[in-house]
Amino acid sequence: MLARPGTGIAPFRAFLQERQATNASGRNWLFFGHQRSDYDFFYKDDLLAMRSSGLLTRLTLAWSRDGAFLLGTRQDGFGGVGGLSRYWIAGGRYESVYDSPGASWFFPVTLADGKRAVVRDRDGIFLLDLQTKKARRLLDVQGQFVGKSVGVTKDERFVTFTETAAEGNIWLANFRH
């Protein structure tokens, strides 16, 4: 299990590359978090490729914009994904904000107001109100489970979605405040 404790992601990427080069046995689990997935997901293509290839058994991601909380995937005791949770840094407490039994992954991006998040799941993109915990589907997109991500432009006028595999698609959705 690898955790990025403020030292930066590069040493862990190098460690994984070494394990790949030497065909090392065993599972690898990387925890990575930062402020914004659209700007701070360093080595994103490499890490997603490592997960797709099986080198990374698990990749747990968490992103926060203001540092008050982290929003990320909630894992169950068996390695499954049960939904999204918010971790309040100051209080050291967790709060469930979205439940989805049977989900395999989520990519959340917290909006600047800290009250909403744009989330990519296996069926598409939805807007999640973090206060009411209600979700509104923005776009239904089903496809392959390789290298999916979601982003929001700086002005938060556009949501971007990428899906990479043997071919790539880019989706844009414009939503109004």
The ranges assigned to domains in the chain are 1-62, 64-145
In the block, tokens 């990025």 appear at: 4
In the block, tokens 């058994």 appear at: 57
Nearest to 20 by CA among 31, 10, 28: 28
**Contact status, residue 61 vs residue 42, Cβ threshold 8 Å:** no
pLDDT value at residue 93? 84
- Domain 1-62 sits in CATH at 3.40.50.80
pLDDT by residue for the chain (177 residues), tens digit each? 555 555 678 888 999 999 999 999 999 888 887 777 777 888 888 998 998 899 998 887 776 655 677 788 877 777 677 788 888 877 778 888 988 766 666 778 888 888 899 888 777 788 999 999 999 998 887 655 445 577 787 788 888 777 655 555 566 666 666
Q: Which tokens is 134 given?
A: 């209600």
pLDDT value at residue 163? 65
pLDDT value at residue 17? 94
pLDDT value at residue 21? 95
Nearest to 123 by CA among 96, 135, 141: 141
Task: Write the CB contacts of 123 (distance below 8 Å, at least 6 apart in sequence).
Answer: 137, 140, 141, 142
pLDDT value at residue 60? 79
Say what the pTM is. 0.56
**Contact status, residue 118 vs residue 152, Cβ threshold 8 Å:** yes
pLDDT value at residue 123? 74
pLDDT value at residue 146? 47
Instruction: List, for residues 44-63, the tens digit of each pLDDT value.
Output: 889 989 988 999 988 877 76
DSSP codes joined into one string, 75-124: E-TTS-EEEEEEEETTTTEEEEEEE-TT----EEEE-TTSSEEEEEETTE
